[in-house]
Chains A and B, each alone.
Chain A
Amino acid sequence: GQNIDQPTEMTATEGAIVQINCTYQTSGFNGLFWYQQHAGEAPTFLSYNVLDGLEEKGRFSSFLSRSKGYSYLLLKELQMKDSASYLCAVRDPNDYKLSFGAGTTVTVRA
């Protein structure tokens, strides 16, 4: 089975840094994905990690530790437009199916 956990909500101040953790226990692993979803909009792809380590992409970075079943998404220099839900998903190696966590709603305050 697939078990993917992430916090339900986080609040941070504009300009600050927020780290969204994701832990997973899955029957297989072929990569971890992060998506951003603004209210009423489609999820959009943010990052993909398949090897251990940090992937940096502008203000957003994603880290993976396969041995710990752990990932985090780091959002730096927060902007109001970063207020959204952030979804962690793990890909199955056999069928490439994505299993999602319930999502973390991040609220950025001025």
Chain B
Amino acid sequence: KAGVTQTPRYLIKTRGQQVTLSCSPISGHRSVSWYQQTPGQGLQFLFEYFSETQRNKGNFPGRFSGRQFSNSRSEMNVSTLELGDSALYLCASSPAPGDNTEAFFGQGTRLTVV
């Protein structure tokens, strides 16, 4: 079956702009989690969505937001981009919350803010 698909793979934006990233989970998976990965910081949890509802939120400012659609696809949005937002953004899908052993990651979107 198809894996987790994230689009776009690469993105360059200017400070102050906003960006929307997309994640299509594995068919049948209803939970989507988003992470920010930077060198030295590892993966930092952003938020998790299940059945179109945000279940959890990490310690990120309100500029980071997300949503999930009825087909389980998820988007995350970052507004008023800052240089420090440059990172690899990963999403992971699983059948349901807590099914981490069945979770699969996408290849990520590499965002560069200039």
Chain A contacts for B106, CB-based, 8 A:
42
Selecting from A10-18, A58-66, A68-76, A89-97, the interface stretch reads A89-97
Please, which residue of chain A has its CB at the minimum distance from the CB of B58? A97
A48–B42 CB distance below 8 A? no
- Are A102 and B40 touching (Cβ within 8 A)? yes
Residues of B within 8 A of A35 (CB): 105
Q: Which residue of B lies closest to A40 (CB)?
A: B107
Q: B28-49 toward A: CB 8 Å interface, digit per residue (1/0)? A: 0000010100001111110010
A48 touches B56 (CB 8 A): no
From B4, B33, B100, B107, give the contact of A33 (CB < 8 A): B100
A98 & B100 in contact (Cβ 8 Å cutoff): yes
Q: Are B101 and A97 in contact (CB under 8 A)?
A: no
**How many residues on chain A are close to B (CB under 8 Å)?**
22
Cβ-defined partner of B90 (8 Å) among A43, A48, A96: A43
Minimum C-beta distance from A36 to chain B (A): 11
A45 engages B40 (CB within 8 Å): no
Residues of A within 8 A of B66 (CB): none
- Chain A contacts with B in 22-40, Cβ cutoff 8 A: 31, 33, 35, 40
Which residues of chain A have a CB within 8 Å of any CB of chain B?
Answer: 31, 33, 35, 40-45, 48, 87, 89, 91, 95-103
B interface residues (Cβ-Cβ under 8 A, vs A): 3-4, 33, 35, 40-45, 48, 55-56, 58, 90, 97-98, 100-101, 103-108
A-B pairs, 4 with minimum CB distance = A96-B98, A102-B42, A42-B105, A100-B43
